[in-house]
Structure 1
Amino acid sequence: MKFNIILNKATTVEEIENYWTNQDYVNLLQLFNFPDANTIKPENLREMLFMAIADFEPNEAAEIVLAYKLSENLNEGQIAQISNDMLIDKVCEEYPEIDLHYHLYSVNQLLFKAYNGKFLNCKATVVDFSITSLDGFEDEITKEIVLKSFNNGISDRNVIKRLFSDQMNTEESFEQAEDILWELNKKDAHNFTFITSEYWLDKDELVASEFEGECQLTEDEEE
């Protein structure tokens, strides 16, 4: 399959809008022993949460937020280890289970802002693009299709191209695409945005504003 891809805009961000809901803030305030969290006006929830978090040691706060968000994925020992590692390493980029990177990133950035920099600052990349089939493809545009099709527009030094060369260039299934691209949002038939870690794709690694992308899928995936 071949696609024409136009890169409309690529930006670097320090948090993902709407990842944390007001209900998340209320729940976390309660976990940080803040009284009457349900009575706080929505526009003040985030600021009050930061105040509540600041009363705790950074690793203690990290453990609370990690347990709130990832207790179904990590055991107590893993959470305790990560809560300490986050103060010295970019865990959201280095953790071996890449399906957790999005959540670890959002936890990290919440704590980074609450503590005004005690945690390392990690960044994400938001790409706004259009994609148009050149050979009549009309099925759903998936994360796998997007990543494979972007191969020709990304610098060869990019970590995705180096780690997943076969998946990007052949029919081999690219299952990791689901976790590398944190979000793929459809605006209309041809216009999309995706969000990923700056670790996976720095905006400066996008080397073409318009290019032809080729995506090879297995026969099962194409059906």
Structure 2
Amino acid sequence: MQAKFTVQIDSFKKISKISNAWSGEDYKALLTLMDFDDDVDAMDAAERREMCLMSLSDLKPEDAAVVVLTHLFPKLSRGKVEQMSRDMLNESSWEEYPDCLYHERFFNAYGLLREAFNGKFAKPTGAEMTLAVSAAHAEDMAIFDISMHSAIVRLLASGQGDDALINRLYEDQIKGKHFPESKGIVWQLKQIADNGVARQFSLVSSSFWLENFEQMDAFEAVSHADAEE
């Protein structure tokens, strides 16, 4: 059964990188992949980052992309990684790659490589939003306890109308009982307040999915949870 909600958009901000997407351990792993000789363990996170960017910039852009993607997608074959790295130079892979579950990692890859190569790579376009979601009955909010990602993505899809791309691409999942792709559409999601019949959420995604909300203040929508296993 579909529950009805009122959604207030508290904030909307375009972003080109996600805060804290890369850790000191990530930089260490990248330097190791590039056969960096110095003692990486002796460096702090800032030094590792600086050395990582310098080392990436010493490579050809496609070779640097291979290093970054090898780290981000360790289960993929070398051949697949090389193909993906070539595609990155001409495509917006954070929104165009067929499997949306890869999109957040591509977004982070573009951010790092763009920094290393002074804009050689396309500028990734993302968005941060905070939403206040309210319902007539507190029990309607339970869908966010069952499957928060799926319920929020269905809510966002409902707020955009039937002709929106998300509704055309994922009609079966939006109407159905399981939506595994939801975590590839909304990359980061947190509930930051719960007042019974109202909750507040923060989320990060590609502007590819969220751009329709930039000029909105509020909307009415329906949603439901995934079926419990």
TM-score (norm 1): 0.87
Unmatched tracts of structure 1, length 5 or more: none
Aligned to 2:169: 163
State the shift of 1:173 in Å.
3.7
Cα separation, 2, equivalents of 1:48 and 1:26: 10
Unmatched tracts of structure 2, length 5 or more: none
Aligned to 1:37: 40
Aligned to 2:160: 154
Q: Deviations over 1:11-31 (max 9, x none)?
A: 111111112111111221222
Cα separation, 2, equivalents of 1:157 and 1:194: 23
In structure 2, relative to structure 1, the CA distance for the partners of 1:217 and 1:32 (3 Å cut) is: closer
Confirm or deny: 8 A CA contact 2:24 2:44 kept in the other structure.
no
TM-score (norm 2): 0.85
In structure 2, relative to structure 1, the CA distance for the partners of 1:130 and 1:85 (3 Å cut) is: same
Aligned to 1:198: 207
1:85 aligns with 2:83: no
**Which region of structure 1 is more displaced relative to structure 2, 43-52 or 1-10?**
43-52
**RMSD between superposed Cα atoms in Å:** 2.2
Letter in 1 for 2:96: E
Residue of structure 1 aligned with 2:102, choices 100, 103, 109: 100
**Which region of structure 1 is more displaced relative to structure 2, 187-196 or 133-142?**
133-142
Aligned to 1:184: 189
1:62 aligns with 2:62: no
Aligned to 2:55: 52
**Which region of structure 1 is more displaced relative to structure 2, 41-50 or 3-12?**
41-50
Give the alignment of 1:5-20 within 5 angstroms: 5-20=7-22
Cα separation, 2, equivalents of 1:30 and 1:216: 45
Give the alignment of 1:115-134 within 5 angstroms: 115-134=117-136
State the shift of 1:210 in Å.
2.0
State the shift of 1:217 in Å.
4.9
State the shift of 1:63 in Å.
0.7
State the shift of 1:9 in Å.
0.6
Confirm or deny: 8 A CA contact 1:158 1:200 kept in the other structure.
no
Identical aligned pairs, as a percentage?
Answer: 28
SS at match of 2:123: coil
SS at match of 1:7: strand
Equivalenced residues, count: 218
In structure 2, relative to structure 1, the CA distance for the partners of 1:201 and 1:157 (3 Å cut) is: farther
